[in-house]
A and B are shown apart, each in its own frame.
Chain A
């Protein structure tokens, strides 16, 4: 009887020791990027996440045949875009943020470049395997020039 109990203790201790690294290790912070090719460039949704928790989401455009301030005129206003970010939280409720951003913030105006238009500080845990999507429009949320990039939450 005592021997059986002792063996059980040894087994449980061994199990705890074996599993502890799995339990203690937090998911590493990672960057993921999903891009869609359009507007003669790429619209990219770049996320910083630890598992299903997304801390930041960035809207980035990489231009191929035109540039920030390119085919839409020389006015700064023409470089502005409108973004909507949405997804499903881990508790099932809807998440949505929006806002405008301009491409010349980092001095990329009138130069072929990668331009970071908008950063959303998200700090939200999403439903695993759900989609976190970014919609981009020129100048207004109903431009008709909408493009999408979606990220599958791990």
Chain B
């Protein structure tokens, strides 16, 4: 019963995020584009993207890998009120994505984020591939 309630809560949060994202006027969705990395299959291409979607009470950070380069992709974001950094890693390769839902940022919190290639095992970030910081308000 308790499990069902929690599942319902999480799914409703996700559903709200998706539903609200569909309304462009209310949503603030920003995208960061990673630098190029070399993939034996297709040469030098952008390693991936990260989006920061702020539909209201919950932030949705999505990370996607776009190059078969042997690297993972990581979104690095900072709560600029506290200075705290967080990372959202996607380590499962091209064609899949990883999403983290953040429900503890107060409205109006200044946030910045960027996306980089990295090593999924050691969690080392390849800083030369990072995008510029993108600034937003939660």
Same assembly: yes
A residues bordering B, Cβ < 8 Å? Answer: 80, 84, 86, 93-94, 96-102, 105, 117-121, 123, 131, 133, 135, 141-142, 146, 148, 150
Q: A84-B10, A86-B10, A131-B6 are in contact. Are A100 and B96 (CB under 8 A)?
A: yes
CA distance A86 to B13 in the complex (A): 11
Q: A86-B10, A133-B3, A148-B3 are in contact. Are A93 and B104 (CB under 8 A)?
A: yes
Is B14 touching A121 in the complex (CB atoms < 8 A)? no
Main secondary structure of the interface of A (DSSP, over half): strand
Main secondary structure of the interface of B (DSSP, over half): mixed
Is B3 touching A97 in the complex (CB atoms < 8 A)? no
Mark the stretch among B23-31, B41-49, B83-91, B107-115 that contacts chain A: B83-91
> Which residues on B sit within 8 Å (CB–CB) of A93?
103-104
How far, in Å, is B13 (CB) from chain A's closest CB? Answer: 7
Who on chain A is nearest to B103 by CB?
A: A94
Is A131 touching B3 in the complex (CB atoms < 8 A)? yes
Is B103 touching A97 in the complex (CB atoms < 8 A)? no
Is B97 touching A100 in the complex (CB atoms < 8 A)? yes
Q: A121-B123, A133-B3, A148-B7 are in contact. Are A105 and B93 (CB under 8 A)?
A: yes
CA distance A99 to B93 in the complex (A): 12
CA distance A84 to B8 in the complex (A): 12
CA distance A100 to B92 in the complex (A): 9
B96's partner among A94, A101, A123, A146 (CB-CB below 8 A) is A101
How far, in Å, is B18 (CB) from chain A's closest CB? Answer: 9
In the complex, B70 has a CB within 8 A of chain A = no
Chain B contact patch, size range: 20 to 34
- Of residues 1 through 43 on chain B, the ones whose CB sits less than 8 Å from some CB of chain A are 3, 6-7, 9-11, 13-14
Is B97 touching A99 in the complex (CB atoms < 8 A)? yes
In the complex, B56 has a CB within 8 A of chain A = no
CA distance A94 to B59 in the complex (A): 12
Is A141 touching B14 in the complex (CB atoms < 8 A)? yes
B14's partner among A80, A98, A131 (CB-CB below 8 A) is A98
> Which residues on B sit within 8 Å (CB–CB) of A141?
11, 14
> Which residues on B sit within 8 Å (CB–CB) of A97?
88, 98-101
Is A121 touching B87 in the complex (CB atoms < 8 A)? yes
Is B89 touching A102 in the complex (CB atoms < 8 A)? no
Is B92 touching A118 in the complex (CB atoms < 8 A)? yes
Who on chain A is nearest to B13 by CB?
A: A96
Is A123 touching B87 in the complex (CB atoms < 8 A)? yes
Q: A96-B14, A97-B98, A102-B95 are in contact. Are A135 and B103 (CB under 8 A)?
A: no
